[in-house]
Amino acid sequence: MVLGRKGRLEKVCLLCQQEIDRLGIELNRQEMVVVRQAQVILSTMANVYLSPLLNRERFDVVVVEEAAMAVLPTLFYCAALAQTKIIMVGDKRQLPPIIQSNSEYVNQAMGRNIFEATEGTASNMVVMLEVQYRMHPVIGEMVSQLFYHGRLKHGKNAKERRTISDRRPFPGEQVQCRTVHRFQGNERDLVIFDTVDTAPMSPGILLAGDSPRSNAPNLLNVSLSRARGKLIIVAAYFQANAAGRIIDQVLNLAVKTGRRMPMLVTNG
């Protein structure tokens, strides 16, 4: 009796697995048909060479978004898939590729972004998009002066951004807490940027690094430029402990441009 029931269950399991396998094969076939007939395909760069559906495909035009964050070998691979044109869109003043190596060779080959690799080339193929539409002009001008040599202009959105900046603080606000890397590509009406570092520790290299390859300017640029209408910076510690560095320049310009508020300290 028990053996008979077990045998029936094993047979049912086998039939179910066979049906799953059949459906999997059919799903793969249908996906391949969709890919072959598609006019536009959206994919991560990793999926382009990992997915069996895409690794044999070639495209009329390849557009890479957030290209400054990608390592060079991956970008070169994607460029080789384009039959007529490759367009790479990104910002070399924002987050760079993440490389965990102290090797100078590795950092030269993979740590540079694509726009650094094209610097010094006499070509009109590299252009800067000079108009931003996200930030209030006051915030945008601070970002422009600090990170873009004053070249960043501000689109005609002053009325919309002024509506945000004129609101009372925190009207029913939904709060999200994230690292700078998590906020890349995002924007919010109000951003509170807390630099975290404080006494008795020395300033960290993430925001106060001053080496030629420091990512501090990029991290600060991303932090400030997420704000659409209001920007609050919590960072008094750095002015006394990182004089002259990029974080100190940010704070000095923020005080000059905006309003400095005393910090209220309580004992709980």
Q: Which CATH class is domain 131-257?
A: alpha beta
pLDDT (0 to 100) of residue 122: 62
208-235 b/e (C-beta count within 10 Å ≥ 16 → b): bbeeeebbbbbbbbbbbbbbbbbbebeb
| Positive or negative: CA dihedral 46, 49, 54, 60 | positive
3-state secondary structure (DSSP) of residue 73: helix
Q: Residue 158: what pLDDT?
A: 63
The model's pLDDT over 216-268, given as tens digits with 9 standing for 90+, comes to 899 999 999 999 888 999 877 887 788 888 988 998 999 898 888 776 655 55
The pLDDT value given to residue 3: 60
The CA-to-CA distance between both ends of the chain, in Å, stands at 70
Domain edges within the chain: 2-117, 131-257
- Residue 167, both tokens: 């609101």
Res 223: pLDDT: 92
Q: Which two tokens stand for residue 186?
A: 């995002």
Question: What is the reported pLDDT for 61?
Answer: 95
| pLDDT reported for residue 1 | 52
Split the chain (268 residues) into runs of 10 and give each run's mean pLDDT.
Answer: 75 92 92 90 90 88 93 91 94 86 82 80 79 91 94 80 72 78 85 85 82 86 92 83 87 88 64
